[in-house]
Chain A
Amino acid sequence: MTSEKALQRAMPWLVTIGLFVFWEALCIVTGVEPFILPRPSLVFETTVQFAPQILHHSLQTLFTTTAGFALGVVGGALLGIAIGASKLVYNGLYPVLIGFNSIPKVAIVPVLVIWFGIGTVPAIITAFVISFFPIVVNVATGLATIEPELRDVLRSLGATKMEILTKIGLPRAMPYLFASLKIAITLAFVGSVIAETVASNEGIGYLMLSASSSYNVPLVFSGLIVVAVMGVLMYAVAVWFERRMTGWAFRGELIS
């Protein structure tokens, strides 16, 4: 039993390490050129070599991502509540939202550049617009799926719409909100890196673009891995918050 648990815990590390070993072996066996696919050991070496630059640019990306994500959480949650609580708002806004979400976000970056110039602001806005849609949908779903019996119990007590929303709707929507945060945070990285690639002189996206234009492919891969690591870390933060805030939704799992 305990060894099984230990194995469960070790699994993510084992798989990650295994992946790198496989990659390394593949490069050695096929003898592929480093500017096509660099070996992980070379990528690691490059990462150490360029550590100060990478740190600078990744902090910039982390900043634009979390800023955009934070806006996405606030905006998404508010809009989700409005859509989930009111049929009228739902009918009016939902089609527009779906249409908006269907636009590839990379297409709006040039527009943002015209409005705000290149740099931090377009990256934050892109991270925001890409991350807020899943939050809206999830929060609205949480509110819309309140059990009718529960609503009847509260209505027959004379509860106002506002009371039904605050006593049942919002707590019920919390697990949905936190589930969406996990999706949204990873999407936010996609948004910010896209914007940095197209229009910035800072951030991991910019670093990768300039590295590839000088054929420093190991540095490109180093940037990719740094983004992935940041994504995983932020995801873990979201999970930690989820468990703390909505432990009830996981029922017995947490206690047993």
Chain B
Amino acid sequence: MQGPAFVKIDGVSLVYELAEEKTLAVEDLSLDIEEGEFVAVVGPSGCGKSTLMKLVTGLLNTTAGNITIGGKPVRGPVQGVGMAFQNSTLLPWRTTLENVMLPLEIVEPHKRNLRRNKKAYIERAMSLLKTVGLADFADKYPWQLSGGMQQRANLCRAIIHDPRLLMLDEPFGALDAFTREELWAVMQNLWMEKRFTAILITHDLREAVYLADKVFVMSKRPGKVILTKKVDIAHPRTLETTFEPHFGAIVHELRDHIHEVRVS
């Protein structure tokens, strides 16, 4: 793809100041993400992956360097980004449907139109819930759902307002292995249908390779990108794909780099 990247992170550093202590969380970090691309960021724990996410969404300000989204520099919280965390953060006093519709009450132009087009919006939310297999649970409360179901609802909430950028911070981290693999497929379906730009932060290399077009490996703190690996496997990928030698080889390569980082 030509032209400037959709998300451009250019020479970014961030220093945390806690009392007297200064911690360099990320240093001289640069990476480009094209529009509609699904990328994953992997690295040892404490390498500033979550910091990166907060920087891109403007929840933290950079100490040095620039971040632009769609050509516009990020200053202050970026509007209308979708976010999903490991903790599903659903609101316990809202039903699944009401939870999913939360962004529509905040993001324009939906906020303006919500009252008038309530029916259409509910249909939209319902069809999204159907895609992830939660149609029958729309009226249930989050605590009546299993962890995997909560995370499905969380994904729906993150993309209901058609964000151009979706940030995923280990969204499947707390799930059991089978549920996690199930949700990879759900995530891939959603992405193939909507083609938003997605940044996935994860510890799980198989997850990264399954979902992403491009995987960035970060070094330990202060975090910087030490490897950019393109995943040249066509979508849709299935669980079968993960057992193919080529898939295994990519995971292996990533694993080697992480190992180097950890011992160095």
Contact = CB atoms under 8 A, between A and B. Distances in A.
Interface of A: 147, 149-150, 152-159, 163, 167-168, 171, 174, 246, 248-249, 251-252
A148 to B, nearest CB: 10
B194 to A, nearest CB: 17
B106 A157 contact: yes
Nearest to B77: A155
Where chain B touches its partner, the secondary structure class is loop
Interface stretch (B12-20, B88-96, B177-185, B253-261): B88-96
Contact of B92 (A153, A156, A158, A249): A249
A158 B77 contact: yes
B91 A171 contact: yes
Given A149-B85, A149-B87, A153-B83, A158 B93 contact: no
B161 interface: yes
A156 B82 CA distance: 7
Interface residues of B, number: 27
Where chain A touches its partner, the secondary structure class is helix
Contacts, number: 63
Contacts of B83: 152-153, 156
Contacts of A150: 89, 91
Contact of A251 (B91, B105, B143): B143
14 contacts: A150-B89, A153-B83, A153-B85, A155-B77, A156-B58, A156-B78, A156-B83, A157-B79, A157-B80, A158-B79, A158-B107, A158-B108, A248-B92, A248-B141
Nearest to B88: A149
A115 B58 CA distance: 55
A151 B6 CA distance: 25
Contact of A158 (B87, B89, B106, B167): B106
B33 interface: no
A150 B83 CA distance: 10
B134 to A, nearest CB: 19
Contacts of A248: 92-93, 141, 143
Q: Which of B87, B93, B141 has the most CB of A within 10 A?
A: B93
A156 B91 contact: no
B195 interface: no
Contacts of B93: 171, 174, 246, 248-249
B85 A158 contact: no
